[in-house]
Amino acid sequence: MSGTGTHAPRTVVGVSGGVDSSVAAWLLVQAGEPCAGLFMQNWDDDGSGDCRAEEDRRDAVGVCGRLGIPFHFRDFSKEYWAGVFEHFLAEYAAGRTPNPDVLCNREVKFKHFLDAARELGAERIATGHYAQVRREGGRWRLLRGADRDKDQSYFLHQLGQAQLAATVFPIGHLPKAQVRQLAREAGLATHAKKDSTGICFIGERDFREFLGRYLPAQTGEIRDPQGVRIGTHPGVFYFTLGQREGLNIGGVRGRPAAPWYVVGKDVAGNVLYVDQDRDSPWLLAGTVRTEAMHWIEGAPPAAEFDCTAQVRYRQEEQPCRVRVRDDGSLSVHFAVPQRAATPGQSLVLYDGSACLGGAVIESTDAPQPR
């Protein structure tokens, strides 16, 4: 389905069927911006009934109808599979914990979606992300969203100058509560719709069951850091560092009745290591090494500098010292050791509210149980 308009839109809004993108579109229409909505299908429905794509698409159509703007649809599921999902599976198979939202933004939303918008004659795209873009000193800067609890700059750290120059975030300056209030006042049916959570292509279904379709599980031993057998696990790549849920370790003779946490993985040996201390020394890293760094402004501010960083989404920013290595990777030393800095996840750097960029965590100096 595609709307028809006599003039090409200047801005194409990524309408997801959620409240955030709905209000982003409404704000542009209120400002008199010539715009259209585009719904992206990024995952083929597998018939499980867990994919909400059709419901979301109907909601997106309804919002565009309410706002009187053209509606367009594009199927990016093949591009998503090749650019995001194959990497997701390869990382889990290697025992790492990937972040598909980061890749989805880089490979789909700010690449194929941007190309599709330009094919429609638009100059730029808009999304419902909680982030802000500002031009300073001839460069585009990615800033945190005003609502710190909803800020999504962490997931957008792979964007560059060309993408930011062609992007607007209409709700980035608003708190979430106000976004819902605006949607309600505008009569948008999505005003009370629950936020989507978790990984988009898994939805509400069981993560292990889903991953097991693509990566055959093999049971193995759970051991403590000293190598003492504690129990068995259903598959080592189902777990990530610091995880507490799903271990199914009952009472262990001679051990306190306290929770267990994942503190290490030996993928080759199919062994999962656990400890009963949430802040176990086996989980704490003072230095984190990354793969090649992506700098939003194209280059680092210096070869060595101080800033703040996050090693996971919604973490409080942590003071650190950054050293840029000759190959473009980073060595980041934290003032306070970081818990469960996980290979495959993203380390993202900030200078105040400005996101400098980010990179995939390659390794840490946390001790390795064996």
Q: Show me where the domains of the chain are located.
A: 11-192, 217-275, 283-364
- Over residues 29-55, mean pLDDT: 82
Share of the chain above pLDDT 90, in %: 80
Q: Is residue 8 scored above 70 in pLDDT?
A: yes
Nearest one of 158, 146, 125, 147 to 12, comparing CA atoms? 125
Rg of the chain taking only CA atoms, in angstroms: 22
Strands 261-266 and 271-275: what pairing?
A: antiparallel
| CATH 3.20.20.150 given to domain 217-275 | no
Q: Is residue 121 scored above 90 in pLDDT?
A: yes
Report the amino acid identity of residue 238.
Y
Could you tell me the pLDDT band of residue 135, with boundaries at 50, 70 and 90? Answer: very high
Burial bucket for residue 162 (CB in 10 Å: 0-12, 13-18, 19+): exposed
Q: Is 307 a catalytic residue?
A: no
Distance in angstroms (rounded) separating the CA atoms of residues 126 and 37? 9
Spatial CB neighbours of 132, under 8 Å, sequence gap ≥ 6? 142, 143, 144, 145, 146, 169, 172, 173
* Model pLDDT, residue 202: 67
The first and second tokens of residue 262, run together, are 């994942």
Q: Is 200 a catalytic residue?
A: yes
CB 142 within 8 A of CB 30: no
In DSSP terms, 118 is beta-bridged to none
Q: Element (H or E) spanning 115, and its range?
A: helix 113-119
Distance in angstroms (rounded) separating the CA atoms of residues 43 and 40? 9
Could you tell me the pLDDT band of residue 5, with boundaries at 50, 70 and 90? Answer: very low
| Inter-CA distances, 86 with 77, 112, 202, 204, Å | 12, 17, 14, 21
Say whether 217-275 and 11-192 share the same fold.
no
CB 369 within 8 A of CB 263: yes
CB 11 within 8 A of CB 125: yes
- Over residues 53-82, mean pLDDT: 94
* Model pLDDT, residue 4: 40
* Model pLDDT, residue 194: 84
| CATH 3.40.50.261 given to domain 11-192 | no
Helices (H) and strands (E) in the chain, counts: 9, 18
Of 35, 51, 200, 320, the active-site residue reads 200
Q: Is residue 203 scored above 90 in pLDDT?
A: no
Burial bucket for residue 4 (CB in 10 Å: 0-12, 13-18, 19+): exposed
- Over residues 37-46, mean pLDDT: 84
Of 35, 51, 64, 104, the active-site residue reads 104
- Over residues 149-160, mean pLDDT: 97
CATH no., domain 283-364: 2.40.30.10
Q: Element (H or E) spanning 298, and its range?
A: none
